[in-house]
């Protein structure tokens, strides 16, 4: 029997990349999946594929708008009246991400899209999970949430550090309610967010990166862990780590 049969999972940023892969993996494991993102057509495409063998519902929203997030929460309550898993995955980056080009609008985009929206989603999930005395929250952060570097840009790094702090803070307070929070820190992943890098990433380089399906499999594993344990934090990086390779080249 699938390990997540009967579970309700809400996946944000579900129209592509890691969110899409997570939704497919959780549905394959038996969960009923709620798909949220900004673009309905992308969500409907993912739902169509899931609904061939599983169950998916589409609930579009701009997660930087707290009213829209609240509407998704209302939909979850009226339709299911429970929530077992939140994959807090939605995120964004911009081309003009460095200090010499950053603007206040760019900063707002990065903080709202990578941190504030995730916080809004947690406020929706917690009442369900507290009532159930059970729940798993999985946040997609980034290696940039632990290590300060130049590629992702300073505001993205700041926001992802905030996600890491949020997740550990949730475990400190919500462990008494049976709620587990995991922060997932992937290295370079071959997702559409790479298209927002100032320097294009060619296909042969993307092929050596972590793939979305790798992330989906890991998220499924975390979601299937027993209630009495929590994976506080987990890293996933490509074997051919471009940062390591560059360091070796300099050393040699």
Active site residues per annotation: 156
Task: Provide the residue count of the chain.
Answer: 252
> What are the φ and ψ backbone dihedral angles of 220, each rounded to 5 degrees?
-60, -45
Whose tokens are 């299911």? That residue is 80
211 secondary structure, DSSP code: P
The total of other beta-carbon atoms located within 10 Å of residue 62's CB is: 16
Radius of gyration of the chain (CA): 18
Cα distance between the two ends of the chain: 53
Ranges assigned E (strand) in the chain: 8-12, 32-36, 55-58, 85-88, 135-140, 179-186, 233-236
Closest Cα partner for 194 from 105, 65, 97, 60?
Answer: 97
């Amino acid at each position: 029997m699938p390990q997540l049969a009967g579970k309700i999972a809400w996946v944000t940023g579900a129209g592509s990349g890691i969110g899409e892969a997570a939704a497919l993996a959780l549905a394959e494991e038996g969960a009923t999946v709620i798909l949220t993102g900004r673009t309905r057509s992308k969500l409907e495409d993912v739902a169509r594929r899931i609904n061939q063998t599983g169950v998916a519902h589409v609930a579009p929203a701009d997660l930087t708008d707290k009213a829209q997030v609240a509407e998704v929460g209302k939909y979850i309550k009226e339709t299911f009246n429970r929530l077992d898993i939140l994959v807090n995955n939605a995120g964004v980056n911009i081309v003009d991400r460095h200090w010499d080009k950053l603007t206040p609008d760019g900063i707002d985009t990065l903080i709202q899209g990578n941190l504030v929206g995730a916080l809004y989603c947690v406020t929706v999930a917690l009442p369900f999970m507290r009532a159930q005395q059970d729940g798993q929250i999985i946040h997609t952060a980034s290696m940039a949430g632990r290590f300060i570097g130049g590629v992702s840009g300073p505001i993205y790094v700041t926001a992802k550090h905030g996600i890491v702090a949020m997740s550990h803070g949730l475990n400190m307070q919500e462990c008494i309610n049976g709620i587990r929070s995991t922060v997932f820190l992937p290295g370079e992943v071959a997702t559409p967010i790479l298209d927002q890098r100032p320097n294009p990433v060619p296909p042969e380089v993307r092929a050596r990166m972590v793939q979305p399906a790798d992330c989906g499999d890991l998220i499924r594993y975390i979601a299937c862990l027993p209630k009495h344990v929590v994976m506080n934090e987990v890293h996933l990086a490509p074997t051919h780590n471009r940062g390591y390779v560059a360091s070796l080249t300099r050393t040699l």
